[in-house]
A and B are shown apart, each in its own frame.
Chain A
Amino acid sequence: MASRVALKVGGKGKNSGKGGRGGEGKSRTECLKEWTDWSLHKAKVIAHYGFIPLIIVIGMNSDPKPQLYQLLSPV
């Protein structure tokens, strides 16, 4: 996924602007960026492991419902 460069220069200015949180290291925008990065990463892992099982679950529940052995046997 695209890596995002954190703006450290603008951090302090934004800190004072956002209700006087100059003492803390992270600003709201940095938190938001970290949160979106984390959620995108988790979504990618979920999609990677879960997409094919999702298709199989949707397929096995569609009409006419196939049997479980048909999933594994080559016939």
Chain B
Amino acid sequence: MAGFPPPGATILGDDAAEKKIDEVGKKKVDYFNLPCPIPFEELQREAIMSLKPELFEGMRFDFTKGLNPKFSLSHSVFMGPMELPSQGAETLKIPTAHYEFGANFIDPKLMLIGRVLTDGRLTARVKCDLTDDLSLKANAQLSNEPNMSHGMINFDYKGKDYRTQLQLGDGSLFGASYIQSITPHLSLGGEVFWAGQHLKSGVGYAARYENDKMVKLACAMHVPFASLLWVATGQVASTGMIAMSYVQKVSEKVSLATDFMYNYLSRDVTASVGYDYILRQARLRGKLDSNGCASAFLEERLNMGLNFVLSAEIDHKKSDYKFGFGLTVG
């Protein structure tokens, strides 16, 4: 009893705590040395990672064999129902199975990923750092059927506190985006795109705010937080879509996220709330939607290099139930 400090007193001692608060309060923002923002397309990456895991239905088995620290081959077998687009309220599913062979070459400067299915469809991704600041990304989906192949190439330039991207795609698709850090926590960006084939063009704006409080400041407040991180993003596009997301890292292992999408042209609203538990041996993500969809995704590490995956989704409105399980080796 004698050894414990009385309630209300700071852990570090009054003088030291005040000095720390003063330091943080007086720290001036150097507007010429702002950090580089994250790329425009990854603006909502925390929300997407927490709320949109790769849900699947059926059985999946992935085997990745590394021949080299840089080069690996992957074999993937999938058996499960495939959804067909249907006009009515009923969802049509047909059972399918496929085998996919893939090769990856991952180097700090060059990344090549290729996947080919049994029906001849190829998915290719290339990422190449041409210089320190300029990088080229290309991805393509090629198939044997005519007019079913698509490709897109991106040029990214990273400046001191801004990023720009130029995008060229097949079907006369042109896009450009720019994102700039305004303060150490806030970045704003915009994009413009033109799709010749579909005769669509659009302009979009986005903002991202992230916050990160250090453990030292938390001690002075007498309530122990882990490093608190929250991210809020907002995006508007002239295709009528407004998207906002908020992710809060409650503790090292738990993250909560929420997402709101509103299409003002078609008056469509979707809101979702989700959680993301990153535990030592497992990662569990769950989501609840305003469309009546509840989903969960579990990845558990059974052993070194052996992962067990469970995916479940219930759509109450359409009465559609999806369950998937799988094993990932390597």
CB distance B114 to A2 under 8 Å? Answer: no
Binding site for A on B (CB under 8 A): 63, 65, 67-68, 70-71, 73, 101, 103-105, 107, 112-114, 116, 120, 122, 124, 140, 142, 144, 147, 149, 170-172, 196-197
Chain A residue nearest to B142 (CB atoms) is A48
CB <8 Å contact, B171 and A58: no
- Give 28 CB contacts A-B under 8 Å: A1-B149, A1-B170, A2-B171, A2-B196, A3-B147, A44-B149, A47-B142, A48-B120, A51-B122, A51-B124, A52-B101, A52-B103, A52-B114, A54-B112, A55-B112, A55-B113, A58-B71, A59-B68, A60-B67, A60-B71, A62-B68, A62-B71, A62-B105, A62-B107, A64-B68, A66-B68, A66-B71, A71-B67
- Measured in the bound complex, the distance between the Cα atoms of B65 and A56 in whole Å is 13
Task: Give the A interface residue count (CB, 8 A).
Answer: 21
A55-B113, A55-B114, A64-B68 given; name 9 further pairs at CB < 8 Å: A1-B147, A2-B197, A3-B147, A44-B142, A48-B120, A52-B101, A58-B71, A62-B68, A70-B67
Instruction: Tell me the A38-68 residues at the B interface (CB within 8 Å).
Output: 44, 47-48, 51-52, 54-56, 58-60, 62-64, 66
Question: Is A19 at the interface (CB under 8 A from chain B)?
Answer: no
Please, how many angstroms separate the alpha-carbon atoms of A56 and B116 in the complex?
13
- Kindly provide the distance from the CB of B168 to the nearest chain A CB, expressed in whole angstroms: 12
Q: Does A20 contact B (CB under 8 A)?
A: no
Q: Is the CB of B105 within 8 A of A55?
A: yes
Chain A's closest residue to B107 (CB) is: A62
Closest residue on chain B to residue A65 by CB atoms: B68
Instruction: Report the minimal beta-carbon distance from B195 to chain A, rounded to whole angstroms.
Output: 11
A71 cross-chain contacts in B, Cβ below 8 A: 67, 73
CB-based nearest B residue for A70: B67
Query: In this complex, what residue of A is CB-closest to B122?
Result: A48
Judge if A74 is at the interface, Cβ distance under 8 Å. Answer: yes
Interface majority SS on B: helix, strand, loop or mixed? strand
Residue in A closest to B121 when the chains form the complex, CB atoms: A48
Give A3's nearest chain B residue, CB to CB.
Answer: B147
B120: chain A residues at CB < 8 Å are 48
A-B pairs with the 5 shortest C-beta distances? A59-B71, A66-B67, A55-B103, A48-B142, A52-B114
Q: State whether B67 touches A59 (Cβ < 8 A).
A: yes
A24 nearest CB across to chain B (Å): 29
Contact A47 B172 (CB under 8 A): no
Residues in chain A near residue B144, CB distance under 8 A: 48
- A 4-21 to B, binary, CB cutoff 8 A, 1 in contact else 0: 000000000000000000
Q: Complex formed: what's the CA distance from A44 to B256 in Å?
A: 44
By a CB distance below 8 angstroms, the chain B residues around A2 are: 170-172, 196-197
* Contact across chains for B116 and A52 when beta carbons are under 8 A apart: yes
Residues of the A chain whose Cβ atoms lie less than 8 Å from the Cβ of B149: 1, 44
Please, how many angstroms separate the alpha-carbon atoms of A63 and B73 in the complex? Answer: 16
Q: Given the known A-B contacts A2-B171, A3-B147, A58-B105, are A51 and B68 also in contact in the complex, defined by CB atoms under 8 Å?
A: no
Chain B residues, Cβ within 8 Å of A48: 120, 122, 142, 144
Interface-central residue, A47, A55, A56, A74, by most chain B CB under 10 Å: A55
> Which of these, A44, A55, A60, A63, contacts B104 with CB under 8 Å?
A55
- Measured CB to CB, the closest approach of chain A to B150, in angstroms, equals 9
Give bound CA distance, A57 to B290, whole Å. 49
